[in-house]
Structure 1
């Protein structure tokens, strides 16, 4: 069998990478640095010939692959089997949260126990079998060719182990860098390592917030869910970043809520924002905090360190009737709609927060 070369690249950075949050198979988009990394990868591979391009079907990988495939006339072949490892109920949680909530089993994850799986997830052994089968199928379909495969850190880790013969619990010598080419080969039914990227000497890809002390922006947001399991999302036109405007987006969907005023608590801000945007009166305990976020956020052309808390509010379906909004606020709020998890997952519109469909399924289970 002729030698097949695979160039493997991990997707660019996401906000969940910054937060050290388990992404797994949640469909999280690239952040500003991640988009710049994807373009840098395309420039680095500009003079390399590829016969085909393959990608995980999750958008963080697919967007990275599109940057390389653009202008080459190559169709991206999406392969769901190249998705990241399914980490079950851990997905959406930070490592720090999982370490506390699952302190009795988290050490199995750290030690890379092959038979261990997070609750409702897959084991490393199952993951290895899935990834090995997918990569081998790609190699056999492309005898003698050179192909690009864009996927995830876990997928590239398995590829490295296939090429080096290392066990699942052995330590990898070098990290899996975002949007960086790594090369392995398949010949006569065997894998071999050609080159694995090292961090030394590689240029740092800057993000717009690098070198700045970002102002802290605390916000309270409401995940308002009706008895059928749909969430209320508002449609907004204000505050879109230049990047999204350039892509042709002129509005986005998000859960009701907003920034705290000076001296205001999260719960007070939640009650005020929900009433102003929907007319719903939240009295007493506003409900549990079901998610927290902390990440760089672009508002217009300015960057802030967003610190957000999401409160779960269960209610009957209702038609929002905003109260006490200024004229400017009214022009920024375009409408509303109740969304099911399936509709959120299938939509290509801008919807915040990231991973909302999974959070919605979690709180309704």
Structure 2
């Protein structure tokens, strides 16, 4: 039996004092054409890098947020789909909860560097806006509003909640 080659990533659910979540806009392309994906800031682990070190690096690079403490690990997601990340059979996303006052995101990477990663900006979203969204844009995970609302209502889980696509 062949083992799957999965890309391991960390993501931050950055929540401000109004319980808005910071999402990054990714302009992507599939065979069916271009589409927009809104996802939590984060990215892949570099060789020899631990999850929290990667999370700190990604948050500084993408949105300019420095983490003082180790945030709780709240969600775990495994997606087997070779179309998600080139060269991989799928991805593993581990999500961490970060509370911070609202800020204007501006990371260490230049606009050109972000564009090379298909990132084209950020936006603060309310849970209801995500749940009520009917446009062509997609969220990651697809039903982001459901687990996010549960997280806000129930608080930090004892163990990371497993998510679907």
Bucket of the pairwise TM-score, normalised by the shorter protein: 0.7 to 0.9
Return the alpha-carbon distance in structure 1 between the equivalents of residues 111 and 122 of structure 2: 18
Question: What residue is the counterpart of 1:11 in the other structure?
Answer: none
The alpha carbon displacement at 1:222 in A equals: 0.3
The alpha carbon displacement at 1:326 in A equals: 7.8
Match of 1:346 among 124, 132, 142: 132
More helix as a share of residues: 1
Return the alpha-carbon distance in structure 2 between the equivalents of residues 319 and 212 of structure 1: 45
Query: TM-score with structure 1 length normalisation?
Result: 0.38
CA offsets 1:200-245 (integer angstroms, 9 cap, x no match): xxxxxxxxxxx9643121100000011111110110124x443xxx
Question: What residue is the counterpart of 2:72 in the other structure?
Answer: 288
Q: CA RMSD in A?
A: 2.2
Match of 2:91 among 306, 318, 333: 306
Aligned runs of 1:1-365 on 2, under 5 Å?
213-238=3-28, 240-242=29-31, 246=32, 248-285=33-70, 287-297=71-81, 298-299=83-84, 302-325=87-110, 327-331=112-116, 332-347=118-133, 348=135, 349-365=137-153
Question: What residue is the counterpart of 1:133 in the other structure?
Answer: none
Contact 1:229-1:360 within 8 A present in 2 as well: no
Return the alpha-carbon distance in structure 1 between the equivalents of residues 6 and 77 of structure 2: 12
Q: Where in structure 1 do 4 or more consecutive aligned residues deviate above 6 Å?
A: none
Return the alpha-carbon distance in structure 1 between the equivalents of residues 132 and 66 of structure 2: 31
Return the alpha-carbon distance in structure 1 between the equivalents of residues 114 and 80 of structure 2: 23
CA offsets 1:45-97 (integer angstroms, 9 cap, x no match): xxxxxxxxxxxxxxxxxxxxxxxxxxxxxxxxxxxxxxxxxxxxxxxxxxxxx
The total of aligned residue pairs comes to: 149
SS of residue paired to 2:55? helix
SS of residue paired to 2:61? helix
Alignment gaps of 5+ in structure 2: 154-165
Return the alpha-carbon distance in structure 1 between the equivalents of residues 85 and 98 of structure 2: 29
Return the alpha-carbon distance in structure 2 between the equivalents of residues 237 and 362 of structure 1: 28
